[in-house]
Amino acid sequence: MSVSSSPYTALLRKIESHIALTTDERQAIQNLPVHVRAAKAGETLLREGDRPSQCCLVLSGLVCRQKIVGEGRRQIMSFDINGDVTDLQSLHLDVMDHDVAMLQDGKVGFLPHAALRAMTERHPRIAAALWRATLIDATIFRQWMVNIGRKSAYARTAHLICELVALARSVGLNEYVIEHRPTQEELGNALGLSIVHVNRTMRALREAGLVASEGRRLVVLDWEVLQSAGEFDPAYLHLKTAV
Amino acid sequence: MSVSSSPYTALLRKIESHIALTTDERQAIQNLPVHVRAAKAGETLLREGDRPSQCCLVLSGLVCRQKIVGEGRRQIMSFDINGDVTDLQSLHLDVMDHDVAMLQDGKVGFLPHAALRAMTERHPRIAAALWRATLIDATIFRQWMVNIGRKSAYARTAHLICELVALARSVGLNEYVIEHRPTQEELGNALGLSIVHVNRTMRALREAGLVASEGRRLVVLDWEVLQSAGEFDPAYLHLKTAV
DNA sequence: CGCTGGATTGACACCATTCAATGCCCGTGG
DNA sequence: CCACGGGCATTGAATGGTGTCAATCCAGCG
């Protein structure tokens, strides 16, 4: 439950969820320079068009990747939590195609591209693990496309809740709970729904006895039924541990 | 225009669109074992849950990645053409999270994972180029999420047409034309729309003078207006050449 | 205590789906 | 040469899921 004080703990756990590391490799990661700072909700860390020279590691709080489109509309493409590197892609793609923004206060660490590149060249297994992490990102994007394109508001909301719970559990939480859920507006911007309809849908989920709301805590009451309502199968997350 | 006879030509062009290759590296790619075969429209090359031991390179025809969801509904997540490796991800993710299917007759080449892995270990620059290719895949998935989640049927159809034209042009076609377009049903399954509404939307695009249809050929009549209708900015494709 | 961000609700409009037919092109077989 | 069938495109009508607009409510907080 407690968030680790060292930025390396989060990063190591993330990478070790992909491969087992040798002592040498662990050391290489812990030798990475990292600049940690606090960031407040609403802050935009990276903007579409930027050419970052470092990668952004989430240490606490809630971060999202999003695109702004037209008149204030936006699409959120991922929620990133403790241990996620939000823009690993910037290591190989110079220009950002989307924003990275803080949704809730937290801490982020910045890892210089130069140091990361040097490490990946000397440690191809770590490079492969990072590559794998970006591939899992892509599987999640694909899943979201399916949800947004082909499922009802009810099903896709249920699916997103399942995903957030599964990911939170995979980094250490034990309960079927989302401790600091996104706002309904943020959920809408992730699900391709209006805020009003997210509200209606959440109410339906509550009335069906699948979830309960306690302020910013969202509690899953019936994990099995919620999964089937969202047609959720965690295989696409490629987690080592069962959900 | 003419499709190359050698499977290596397509693959080399693809990789060389990311990095300049040394003679040594070119040779390594041309030494890859590849098994070419014809595949007919409707054939499913890979299925969700499969554990492939080779990657699939498109040589001709039209291929898609898709997920089946619930009662016969499906979401197409990409259209793949000459030179695309549809499942590069399977090099690092053992289980397929989606299907790969032929939409139009063509040829595909299969590259064994073992040979690819051996090559990437000895040629880290090629590994980086392939990694980059998967990252661009992800940028396209993100863009599709925005389209499906936040744009009108008209705008997202226009956007998809722009993307298909831009990609076809990037691999050698000169005109603003899609030679073998997907069917309207396939477009619908990619856009998150019903076939009927795709039809109405295509009519609207025709009546607005943006495109014209000649059987399976789709001709863009007004590239500028089509782009603005779809809010299309090719930056996310990370093409070296301008559209 | 008033302010602010978020949640909630109702009424209404509309975009897109569904259902159902029809049309068109083209390859195949009699 | 024509009839037939299949796949795809097209169109109309009715339905409905979701968006929009507009209030109101609520809790936390300075």
* Interchain contact B215–A (C-beta under 8 A): no
Q: Are B57 and B111 in contact (CB under 8 A)?
A: yes
Q: Which nucleotides of C are covered by protein (CB under 7 A)?
A: 5-11, 15-20, 25-26
A66 CA – D21 C1', rounded, Å: 26
- The rounded percent of chain B whose pLDDT value lies above 90 is 90
Mean pLDDT of chain B: 94
A contacts of B191 (beta carbons < 8 Å): 149
Hey, are the CB atoms on A138 and B138 less than 8 Å from each other?
A: yes
Residue A2: which residues within 8 A CB-CB, separation 6 or more? none
What whole-number distance in Å separates Cα of residue B157 and Cα of residue B147? 9
pLDDT digits (tens, 9 = 90+) for B29-85: 999 999 999 999 999 999 999 999 999 999 999 999 999 998 789 999 999 999 999
Indicate the residue type of A47.
Answer: R
- Tokens matching residue B150: 């936040």
Q: Which nucleotide is nearest to A215 (CA to C1')?
A: D27
Q: Are A197 and A205 in contact (CB under 8 A)?
A: no
* Nearest CA-CA distance, residue B93 and chain A, Å: 7
Residue B27: which residues within 8 A CB-CB, separation 6 or more? none
pLDDT given for residue A70 in this prediction:
80
Of B75, B92, B132, the CB nearest to A93: B132
pLDDT given for residue B5 in this prediction:
59
Is the pLDDT at B172 greater than 70? The verdict is yes
What whole-number distance in Å separates Cα of residue A19 and Cα of residue A131? 12
Cβ of B195 < 7 Å from strand D?
Answer: yes
* Nearest CA-CA distance, residue A229 and chain B, Å: 11
The larger pLDDT score, comparing residue B55 to residue B1, is at B55
pLDDT in tens, chain A (243 residues): 444 458 899 999 999 988 999 999 999 999 999 999 999 999 999 999 999 999 999 999 999 999 999 878 999 999 999 999 999 999 999 999 999 999 999 999 999 999 999 999 999 999 999 999 999 999 999 999 999 999 999 999 999 999 999 999 998 777 899 999 999 999 999 999 999 999 999 999 999 999 999 889 999 999 999 999 999 999 999 998 777
The larger pLDDT score, comparing residue B18 to residue B192, is at B192
The residue whose two tokens read 């606090």 is A38
pLDDT digits (tens, 9 = 90+) for B127-145: 999 999 999 999 999 999 9
Hey, are the CB atoms on A146 and B75 less than 8 Å from each other?
A: yes
Q: Please name the residue of chain A whose CA is at the shortest distance from the CA of residue B65.
A: A142
CA B140 to chain centre: 10
Q: Enter the pTM of the model.
A: 0.96
pLDDT digits (tens, 9 = 90+) for B91-131: 999 999 999 999 999 999 999 999 999 999 999 999 999 99
